[in-house]
Amino acid sequence: MKKFKNIYILPIAGLMCFTISCKKGFLDRFPQTLITPEVFFKTEEDLSLYMNGMVSLHNRNSYLNDQSTDNASTTGAVEIKNMMAGSPSSQTITGGWSWGRLRNINYFLENYTKASVSDEIKNHYAGLARYYRAIFYYDMVKRYSNVPWYDKTLNASDAELKNPQNSREEVMTKILEDLDFAVKNVRENVPTGTPGKWAVTLMQAKIALHEGTYRKYHAELKLESTAEVFLKVAESAAQEIIKSGKFSIYNSGKPEEDYATLFESLDLTSNKEVILVNAFDQDKNVTQNVNSVVFGDYEQSPSRDLVQSYLMKDGSRFTAIAGHEQFGFVQEFKDRDPRLSQTLIYPTWLRQPGNTTYIQRLNKNFTGYHQRKGYVNSVDQNVLNGIDFPVHRYAEVLLILAEAKAELGIITQTDLDNTINILRKRVGMPNLVLVTANASPDPALKLDFPMVQGSNVGTILEIRRERRVELAFENTRYDDLMRWNAGKLLENIPQGMYFPGVGNYDMNGDGVPDIKLIPEGQTIPSNREKNSLGVPLVYYTIGRFGGPAGVYLSDGTQGGTMVTEVRKRTFVEPMYYYRPIPEVQMILNPILEQPFGWK
């Protein structure tokens, strides 16, 4: 059983009401009648208790956050999908403009110095607060670009609430200042589940890479000339983590298992790849189980486009194979990058209970592919509820360094060998070769990312592929598409498996059919046909989208790829890279300006 350090993250709601709602959109008032700085901010325990209440870690629900991307299809009411298919405005998009968390952070920063503790202790907790403030503000910048900067607690009557937005440049300067302070002062050794020095440094690298590439590829900001500053910060921060020697890629020499182990482990607290863990343990009543929503056809199902992005096991491109567009499920998974079968359910996968070969379940509005990452293949409740979540992985550090160097135009083969090729080695994939990649960029990726130019086009494109494959379903793809100015890719409606038409199909690769597709309108017989093993086939009716069929195919009864929806999507550039400030906030503060065409 996993071992925790000596404290847990305690909910503070009973002591300090950190989650009160915003009154008319103003910054939340801290419940000073419940606790005052004179009474509370005295000891390190007080500072620790407050900051532990601010901890907000991603958890296993993150495996469901690719609904907004080209990695997956979804039947959920996802904001960006609804925007592209509707007529969004500041009246219909009302979320996001919330400042309560910031007020709690600033309240701490105004009062922590009252504690009778050493400067080292004070600076550690102040570093954590500024780390949280940097994350809060960068989330706001990603959504609105220009936002007001508040570095003190405000009341509903304060004139500052009527301030205009600060520019993106001003806010990002403040964010980097907060992160720099945090990196220099947050301790390395901290309780399990709380961010330490290296998690803070990784966030510095992540934010800097995001902002650097965002500025490089988004001409509407008119900040292209400043992109290099942020890319250098990302490079430097990633290098510092690597130089620390504290972390390494998990590799036990089992290329068909090691990658998946990171997402199926009961204990990641001692795994050297995991920089920050969200630890779960049924025995300690700290649990989470997402099996019912991550697998099959609940809301999210992996896209055919994602499947096709994985390379062949020999390093060649799947999309270069003649006729790959008509490959069926079994053929798609043959001789591929092992991460494909450790991320998605594959044809010979054995499901519990019973350890029996799973036959892929099909359903209309879904792709047919099932997600393995995030699914726990067990019936033991201790296992189901106790799988840890890797909030930050060292793999991302290597990806950040490779991308920052490539975008700066300084990447070398040695850099690739020390980053991308370490990730490939884990799964037994051939090395990425700089000269080869640049000499022959992937045509499919060039179509996806036409803004990538220069001598390193092929390398940058392959690093982007590597990010997609390595971090699939880990809550990174949407931000990546946004910073790369690739929102137009979201106009493509995700497709699913390919079937050439009615007939019998082998779904597990044993040469024996498992399912039978029949035209819509026909009745599935009660006396179903059996295969040569004596097992009745699973029947599905097929037809065009919106009809009575159980499975929608692009060409109806003539076959095609599985269709998930047909509503036209339009990604308006640059408008949809941002969100509108809710109309009610514009009424409260008319001096605010909507970003990039929003009304």
Q: DSSP string spanning 241-261?
A: HHHHT-------S-TTTHHHH
Task: Dig out the tokens for 573 from the structure.
Answer: 């550039």
Q: What is the pLDDT of residues 311-337, one digit of tens each?
A: 999 999 999 999 999 999 999 999 999
pLDDT over threshold 60, residue 534: yes
pLDDT over threshold 50, residue 1: no
Residues 329, 505: Cα–Cα separation, whole Å:
10
Q: Longest Cα pair distance anywhere in the chain, in angstroms?
A: 80
Q: What is the pLDDT of residues 7-41, one digit of tens each?
A: 333 333 333 333 323 333 434 444 444 567 778 99
Q: In DSSP terms, which residues pair with 437 in a beta bridge?
A: none
Task: Dig out the tokens for 475 from the structure.
Answer: 């809550």
User: Which stretches of 310-393 are DSSP H helices?
Assistant: 329-332, 381-386
Report cis status (omega within 30 of 0) of the bond before 500: no
Residues 95, 579: Cα–Cα separation, whole Å:
9
End-to-end CA distance of the chain: 54
Mean pLDDT (whole number) for 576-584: 98
Torsion angle of C-alpha atoms 542, 548, 550, 554, degrees rounded to 10: 40
Task: Dig out the tokens for 478 from the structure.
Answer: 């949407």
Pairing between β-strand 389-393 and β-strand 274-278 as defined by DSSP bridges: antiparallel
Say if residues 35 and 15 touch (Cβ distance below 8 Å).
yes
Q: The tokens 């597709």 sit on which residue?
A: 517
Mean pLDDT (whole number) for 430-459: 98
For residue 362, give the nearest of 529, 534, 538, 545 by alpha carbon.
538
For residue 131, give the nearest of 39, 232, 237 by alpha carbon.
237
Q: Which helix (H) or strand (E) holds 458?
A: helix 457-470
Share of the chain above pLDDT 90, in %: 91
pLDDT-based confidence at 188, cuts 50/70/90?
very high
- What pLDDT was estimated at residue 34? 55
In angstroms, the Cα distances linking 180 to 129, 185, 202, 237, 513 are 12, 9, 12, 10, 60
For residue 240, give the nearest of 191, 190, 189, 199 by alpha carbon.
199
Q: In DSSP terms, which residues pair with 399 in a beta bridge?
A: none
For residue 218, give the nearest of 484, 491, 580 by alpha carbon.
484
For residue 41, give the nearest of 122, 143, 153, 130 by alpha carbon.
122
HEC sequence for 89-107: CCCCCCCCCCCHHHHHHHH
pLDDT over threshold 80, residue 4: no
Q: What is the pLDDT of residues 351-410, one digit of tens each?
A: 999 999 999 999 999 999 999 999 999 999 999 999 999 999 999 999 999 999 999 999
Q: Please, what's the b/e burial string for 253-287 (b: 16 or more CB within 10 A of its CB; e: otherwise)?
A: eebeebbbebbbbbbbbebebbbbbbbbbbeeebe
Task: Dig out the tokens for 445 from the structure.
Answer: 């990726």
Q: What is the pLDDT of residues 45-67, one digit of tens each?
A: 999 999 999 999 999 999 999 99
- What pLDDT was estimated at residue 26? 38
Query: Which region among 24-38, 87-101, 150-164 has the lowest average model confidence (pLDDT)?
Result: 24-38
pLDDT over threshold 90, residue 549: yes
Residues 239, 242: Cα–Cα separation, whole Å:
5
Share of the chain above pLDDT 70, in %: 94
If one compares 6 and 584, the residue with the highest pLDDT of the two is 584
Sheet containing 503-505: give its strands across.
503-505, 515-519, 538-543, 551-552
User: Which stretches of 16-61 are DSSP H helices?
Assistant: 37-40, 44-52
- What pLDDT was estimated at residue 32? 42
Residue 140, C-beta contacts closer than 8 angstroms, at least 6 positions apart: 96, 147, 171
How much is the mean pLDDT over the chain?
A: 93
Residues 590, 599: Cα–Cα separation, whole Å:
13
Say if residues 104 and 30 touch (Cβ distance below 8 Å).
yes
Mean pLDDT (whole number) for 248-263: 98
Mean pLDDT (whole number) for 541-548: 97
- What pLDDT was estimated at residue 3? 43
One-letter amino acid at 569 equals: R
Q: Tally Cβ neighbours within 10 Å of residue 345.
A: 22
